[in-house]
Structure 1
Amino acid sequence: MDCRQTDSLPSQDRIPDVLGHLRHLPRPVYGQERALPNQAIARPHRHPWVQFSYALQGVIEVRTRDGRFMAPPQQAVWVPATIEHGVRCSPDALIRSLYIEPSVLKNAPAECKVVAVNSLLRELIRSFSALPVLYGEHGPESRLVAVLLDELAAAPDSGLILPWPRDERLQALCSSLQSEPGSQTRLYDFAARYDVSEKTLTRLFRQETGLSFRAWRQRLRIMSALPLLERQERVTDVALACGYDSMSAFVASFRELMGETPGEFLRAAASSNAGL
């Protein structure tokens, strides 16, 4: 199922049906290829099961009160049960979300996190999505689900989170930067806009996000680059769009956060898309 726009939503009259349909999972793990969970619901919502948000292609962003969690095809987002969240995706993203009863997980996540998806886990998700909703609870299908759960539990944390502040002034600041990641607006300019000292804003920013303003903006820029790179846009164009005036600075920042260069990311994304 394709996600055709960043804030893709079912029509308003279908949203209650989506949530009601999933009030009780038909099996401990749910998320077949044509199931409703494979739509991105941007409106804040919650449910009593764990969600594993993954895209075979494109980029998924999960938003909670505490942060923005972005996952390209080699990564996915865990959303704990009862956590309010919204899901957005890049154009033409192909979603394979899994909804899981917490009781069947060895270690149900206590907070949202982004994890790495290796080739085995990717193929298990693809295979599971082709099973019927009421897959067999004994035999080959149940064994596939058991292996899938083991691999999900073992997926390593990649730390790809953009912490989100609670302070209203910082929320406005961060929303402004997220809408225009290439902006060169300085912290001094924001301090003047909100009528506080730059020192106060610096202290508040670290207190609320755990990062300096510079580190937070660098992370935002790299995370904003992911959907552009996944669409195979030129690395130079992506660097400029995200506020970098040199390729070397962009490559260094990208490698620091992602553990690979933009070129390596592009090749991995092309390889993933080729398998669809």
Structure 2
Amino acid sequence: MYLEQQLNQLKQLPRPVYGQAEALPNIALGYKHSHPWIQFSYASRGVLDVLTADGRYIAPPQRAVWIPARVEHQVRCSGQTQIRSLYIEQSALATAMTQSCVVQVSPLLRELIHAFSQFDSCYPEQGSQARLVQVLLDQLEQAPLTDSILPLPQDERALVIAQHLQNQPDCTQTLAQWAAELGVVAKTLSRIFTQQTGLTFRLWRQRLRILSALPMLEQQQSVTDVAIACGYDSVSAFIHAFSQHFHCTPGEFFN
């Protein structure tokens, strides 16, 4: 039985922190869903792609996604992805979780998540396992934020552009060309992207392309093929953009 089915049968979590290892195939879950608990989703292998009304939250194995309680979301993942999701009562955290975000997963946090995934769902509330859970919670709350987030505009015209580019990141159509196609002034579209995503259209598209590269790189596709698929004119331009965003080369990132 999938964890999702088990969760649907629960009226409350058996412990303030609940979870287990779960393998998911390379498919997009065809429905939006939410949980009455906070979710911390981490992929020890593969790349998570979590979609909410506000944006996409993309997490390779060095990162993870926080999803607040009752926030509708869809989860997509690359082939052979190994997910370890934690479900957490708000009362177990010192800070209220109100906004989806992507955080860095340290080697210590990774090992704590792995160890916890081996626990029985009704692990003892006293003793060594309970102490490990407390350390796990401390590390979860201390995990630093990252910018592996693609904020999405809410304006219907800008959202048409955003959706097209997500499906086709190598598209080279300019904002002026989009404006002509949609019957709107280019400056209006530019202002919408800046106001609703916090990024200029140029920076938004650059972030989209970099984040779109992660699943392909994790699957060990060649840097040349990834650069072309993401719309870069040259491998050097792709590596430069990637290094600016992640402060390391594609090869270094996945090593």
CA distance in 2 between partners of 1:137 and 1:184 (Å): 56
Q: Give matches, 1:21-170, under 5 Å.
A: 21-33=9-21, 41-170=29-158
The secondary structure found in structure 1 opposite 2:113 is: helix
Query: With structure 2 as the length reference, what TM-score do the two structures score?
Result: 0.93
CA distance in 2 between partners of 1:202 and 1:143 (Å): 51
Q: Deviations over 1:22-64 (max 9, x none)?
A: 441111111112599xx98552122221100100000001111
CA distance in 2 between partners of 1:34 and 1:52 (Å): 13
2:215 aligned partner: 227
From the superposition, tell whether residues 42 and 108 of structure 1 become closer, same or farther in structure 2 (CA, over 3 Å): farther
Letter in 1 for 2:32: P
Cα deviation, residue 134, structure 1: 0.9
- Structure 1, unaligned stretches of length 5 or more? 2-9, 269-276
Q: Give matches, 1:214-253, under 5 Å.
A: 214-253=202-241
CA distance in 1 between partners of 2:170 and 2:129 (Å): 47
2:199 aligned partner: 211
When structure 1 is superposed on structure 2, of 106-115 and 160-169 the one drifting more is 106-115
1:188 aligned partner: 176
- Structure 2, unaligned stretches of length 5 or more? none
CA distance in 1 between partners of 2:203 and 2:23 (Å): 39
1:177 lines up with 2:156 in the alignment? no
The secondary structure found in structure 1 opposite 2:66 is: strand
CA distance in 2 between partners of 1:131 and 1:41 (Å): 27
Q: Deviations over 1:192-217 (max 9, x none)?
A: 11111111211122122111111000
Cα deviation, residue 237, structure 1: 1.1
Cα deviation, residue 108, structure 1: 3.2
Query: With structure 1 as the length reference, what TM-score do the two structures score?
Result: 0.86
CA distance in 2 between partners of 1:41 and 1:145 (Å): 29
Letter in 2 for 1:28: P
CA distance in 2 between partners of 1:251 and 1:96 (Å): 30
The secondary structure found in structure 2 opposite 1:97 is: strand
2:246 aligned partner: 258
Which of residues 165, 179, 198 in structure 1 aligns to 2:186? Answer: 198
CA distance in 1 between partners of 2:13 and 2:23 (Å): 12
CA distance in 1 between partners of 2:176 and 2:28 (Å): 37
CA distance in 2 between partners of 1:233 and 1:191 (Å): 34
1:271 aligned partner: none
CA distance in 1 between partners of 2:69 and 2:213 (Å): 29
Q: Deviations over 1:73-106 (max 9, x none)?
A: 0000011112221111111110001000010112
CA distance in 1 between partners of 2:129 and 2:53 (Å): 37
CA distance in 1 between partners of 2:192 and 2:70 (Å): 29
From the superposition, tell whether residues 59 and 35 of structure 1 become closer, same or farther in structure 2 (CA, over 3 Å): closer
Contact 1:80 1:108 in 2 (8 A): no
Contact 1:188 1:198 in 2 (8 A): yes
Letter in 1 for 2:83: I
